[in-house]
Chains A and B, each alone.
Chain A
Amino acid sequence: MSQFLQVLLSGLATGAVYALVAIGFTLVWQAAQTVNFAQGEFVMLPAFFVLIGMNWLGLSFWISLLFGLVVSVVLLGLVFKKLIVEPILPHGGITLIIATMALGILLKESAKEFYGAEAQPFPALFPGDPINLFGAAVSLRDLLNLAISLGVVVLLTLFLNRTRTGRCMQATAQNPAVAEILGVDVKRMVLYTFLINAALATLASFLITPVYLAKFSNGETLGLIAFIAAIVGGFNQIRGALVGGLLIGVLDNLTATYVTAQYRAALPLVLLIAIILVRPQGLVGTSEGRAV
């Protein structure tokens, strides 16, 4: 039982981080009809910016975190939108998909060439000591990851629902033409979406890299899991991405521990196919309309 609890909680913690990535992915999809196939690399890269800050620029850890955040938000939010999404989006989704795939490769190979191919240790934000919870040895880090991720989700939801800007963003996602008529600065709202996505990916990066170590190939699985989480949970709303992320985190852990290690990666894939065919709006999503 205590092992189960351990696996469950650890799965929830990982899942919460997946959820952050999935939420960003969903936001960008909703607001800008952009499916970002480089999302995984968006999570891989910020850790490297931090390492650059610490090892190349000699900054302290926390300043490096800030540095990494700023660079990521500018590069993966602003520059991404202006240089890649804006010119290509009018020419169709497929072209943009390929462009973001190419971007993913570009980021991955750049990390490999310019920083290094070996996995780099990344300092943890919190100590990983196990604490005793209902008889199970649970990592403090896991608990804090879970708490922080959930906290961010709550904040984001509040922002989107309770603030003026947030509601404008929602309006833009639901019906950009009408939003424009009503005076919403649609372009800016879309920009905010990209910036928020970059920020979420950065946070996920900071939380997850201590465990996986900073490696250029981190993006591959993460990206795939982000899409699956977003779709399985429900593309229409943040809640969906949250549910999807947690579910996949938990199921993945449970599968690996109790069922099979070899076909562990198959579970999310099968889940994805099943959901798309049976309930394409996702577990939590609604079949009508879009909501941020």
Chain B
Amino acid sequence: MGARSLHGAWRLLLIVALLAAAILLPLGQKNYFIYVMTSWLIFAIAAMGLNLTLGYAGQISLAQASFMAIGAYTTALMTLAGWHWLASLPVGLAFCFVVGLVLGYPALRVKGHFLAFVTLAFNTLVFLVLRNEEWLTGGTYGLSGMPRPEFGSFSTDKQLPFYYFTLGVTVLAALGLWAIVRSPWGRAFKALRENPIRAESLGVDTRRVTLLAFAIGSAYGGLAGALITPLVQFIDPGSFGLAHSLRILLMVVVGGAGYFFGPFIGAAVVILLPEVLRFTEGYYLIIYSALVIVMLVFVPSGLIGIFGRLREKLWPKRQVRADMAEGARLP
């Protein structure tokens, strides 16, 4: 037990350190830097949601960007009509939750690649609707001028306050996800991923669990969308196309699917790497995609997998003894 609580203490220390870094880092930095960090937090939320659906529950979804879209457009339309951001949030979340449930139905019938295709088609359909229904969404011209929220005397108009506002929401979202993953629900999600037939035979209603995995994951996508509207203050359908769903999927896989902090690392890599490669101009996407391929060949379980392997080397776990390999301890 000693080793476990030590491990737990290290982890807590790490989280506090990261939180402190997140709070202190943007101070005194240029606006663009703060903007990128805000963007990182928002995409980390979207990736968290997808991580629940894909990493924990094992359901592949290529539609996360379309839920960001639903959240973003709901927030945009409502705040443009004068509603406060806080009022638009539950509407967007509820909408995404319900649509997410609907998207979960195909998942009951098909798995794996087929499910990937269905969600991909869904994402593209949402894009088409956003692009074509100009009367509602502004079509390809999009919507602009959405206000940043105000909380009494605290205005998020400037980059830095908006960043802290986003950080606050992200921490709450992460706590919420942590609660879900640690609860029996989280155990049921993992069971669904690892052995759905066995899970079903133990009384787990796999249908319900699948739908929930989609609905909750989608709601997180919606939350991310609700934040992106005030961040960029201009949204158009192109920002939520298939390519963006793939980006979010990439964040989950690069960070490490099924690991709690994977999305944060993955989002950081996917968002920061292009910034770092910016100097290569036209070639950055080429280098970027090549790097992704290389990473997947050598570390398919994601970057957290690397940490895991390092940890194994530095703190080796109790090995199963050779004589135990063949039997339980008999009297």
A94 to B292, CA, bound (A): 14
Contact residues, A22-51 vs B (CB, 8 A): 29, 35
In the complex, per-residue mask of B305-323: 1 if CB is within 8 Å of any chain A CB, else 0: 0000000000000000000
Q: A94-B253, A105-B289 are in contact. Are A227 and B117 (CB under 8 A)?
A: yes
Determine if A175 is an interface residue (Cβ-Cβ < 8 Å).
Answer: no
Bound: A263/B124 CA distance, A: 11
Interface: B282 (CB within 8 A): yes
A280 touches B109 (CB 8 A): yes
Of residues 114 through 140 on chain A, the ones whose CB sits less than 8 Å from some CB of chain B are: none
Please encode chain B, from 254 to 295, with 1 for each CB lying within 8 Å of some chain A CB and 0 for all others.
000100000000000000000000000011011011101100
User: Scoring B residues 37 to 71 as 1 if CB is less than 8 Å from chain A, else 0, what string do you get?
Assistant: 00000000000000000100000100000000000
Contacts of A94 in B (CB 8 A): 54, 60, 253, 257
B297 touches A263 (CB 8 A): no
Kindly state whether residue A87 has any CB partner on chain B within 8 Å: yes
Decide yes or no whether A177 CB sits under 8 A from chain B: no
- Answer yes or no: B145 CB below 8 A from chain A CBs: no
Q: B303 — which chain A residues lie within 8 A by C-beta?
A: none
Residue numbers in A under 8 Å from B286 (CB-CB): 106, 109-110, 113
CA gap between A273 and B120 in the complex, in Å: 10
Q: Do A273 and B296 touch (CB < 8 A)?
A: no
Within A238-292, which residues are at the interface with B (CB < 8 Å)?
Answer: 262-263, 265-266, 269-270, 272-273, 276-277, 280
User: Once bound together, how far apart are the Cα atoms of A279 and B282, in whole Å?
Assistant: 44
Given contacts A93-B113, A110-B286, contact A87 B297 (CB under 8 A): yes
Query: Which residues in window 94-140 of B have CB below 8 A to A?
Result: 105-106, 109-110, 112-114, 116-118, 120-122, 124-125, 128, 132
A101 is an interface residue with CB less than 8 A from chain B: yes
Q: At the interface, yes or no: B246 with Cβ under 8 Å from chain A? A: yes
Q: How far is the CA of A112 from the CA of B285 in the complex (A)?
A: 11
Whether the pair B249, A266 counts as a contact (CB closer than 8 A) is no
Q: For chain A, residues 183 to 226, give those with C-beta under 8 angstroms from any C-beta of chain B.
A: 224
User: Shortest distance in angstroms between A225's beta carbon and chain B's nearest beta carbon?
Assistant: 12
Q: Is B231 an interface residue (CB 8 A)?
A: no
In this complex, the member of B114, B118, B292, B300 whose beta carbon has the largest number of chain A beta carbons within 10 angstroms is: B300
C-alpha gap A273/B257 in the complex (Å)? 26
**Given A110-B286, A276-B114, A276-B117, A269–B300 Cβ distance below 8 Å?**
no
Is residue A179 contacting chain B, with contact meaning CB distance below 8 A? Answer: no
Chain A CB within 10 Å, residue with most, of B117, B120, B124, B249: B117
Chain A's closest residue to B58 (CB) is A94
- Check if A65 is an interface residue, CB within 8 A of chain B: no
* B143 interface residue (CB < 8 Å to A): no
Contact partners of B297 in chain A: CB under 8 A: 83-84, 87-88, 99
Nearest-neighbour CB distance to chain A for B49, whole angstroms, equals 16
Residues of B211-229 contacting chain A, CB below 8 A: none
- State the Cβ distance, B57 to closest chain A Cβ, in Å: 13
Using A113-B286, A269-B124 as known contacts, say yes or no to A95 and B253 having CB atoms under 8 A apart: yes
Give the chain A neighbours of B246 by CB distance below 8 A: 98, 101
Closest A residue to B112 by beta carbon equals A93
Residues of B within 8 A of A272 (CB): 117-118, 121
Task: Give B250's nearest chain A residue, CB to CB.
Answer: A98
Say yes or no: A269-B113 contact (C-beta < 8 A), given A92-B300, A94-B54, A102-B292.
no
Whether the pair B118, A276 counts as a contact (CB closer than 8 A) is yes
The smallest C-beta distance from A285 to any residue of chain B, in angstroms, reads 12
List the B residue with the shortest CB-CB distance to A90.
B300
Q: Given the interface contacts A35-B113, A262-B132, A276-B114, does A103 sit within 8 Å of B289 by beta carbon?
A: yes
Chain B nearest Cβ from A95, distance in angstroms: 5
Q: Is B301 an interface residue (CB 8 A)?
A: yes
Q: A276: which of B109, B249, B292 is its contact (CB, 8 Å)? A: B109
Question: Which B residues touch A227, using CB under 8 A?
Answer: 117
Q: A106–B118 contact, CB under 8 A?
A: no
In the assembled complex, which residues on chain B have CB atoms less than 8 Å from the CB atom of A29?
113
Residues of A within 8 A of B122 (CB): 269, 273
Residue of B105, B125, B282, B293 touching A99 (CB-CB under 8 A): B293
Q: Which residues of B contact A273 (CB under 8 A)?
A: 106, 118, 121-122
Q: Closest chain B residue to A264 by CB distance? A: B128
Residues of B in contact with A (beta carbons under 8 Å apart): 54, 60, 105-106, 109-110, 112-114, 116-118, 120-122, 124-125, 128, 132, 246, 249-250, 253, 257, 282-283, 285-286, 288-290, 292-293, 296-297, 300-301
28 contacts between A and B (CB under 8 A): A29-B113, A87-B297, A91-B300, A94-B54, A94-B257, A98-B296, A99-B293, A99-B296, A101-B250, A102-B290, A102-B292, A103-B289, A106-B285, A106-B289, A113-B282, A113-B286, A231-B114, A265-B128, A266-B125, A266-B128, A269-B122, A270-B125, A273-B106, A273-B122, A277-B110, A277-B118, A280-B110, A280-B114
Given contacts A95-B300, A266-B128, A276-B118, 4 further A-B contacts (CB under 8 A): A98-B253, A109-B285, A277-B118, A280-B109
Q: Shortest 7 CB-CB distances between A and B: which pairs? A: A91-B300, A106-B289, A269-B121, A102-B292, A109-B285, A105-B289, A102-B289
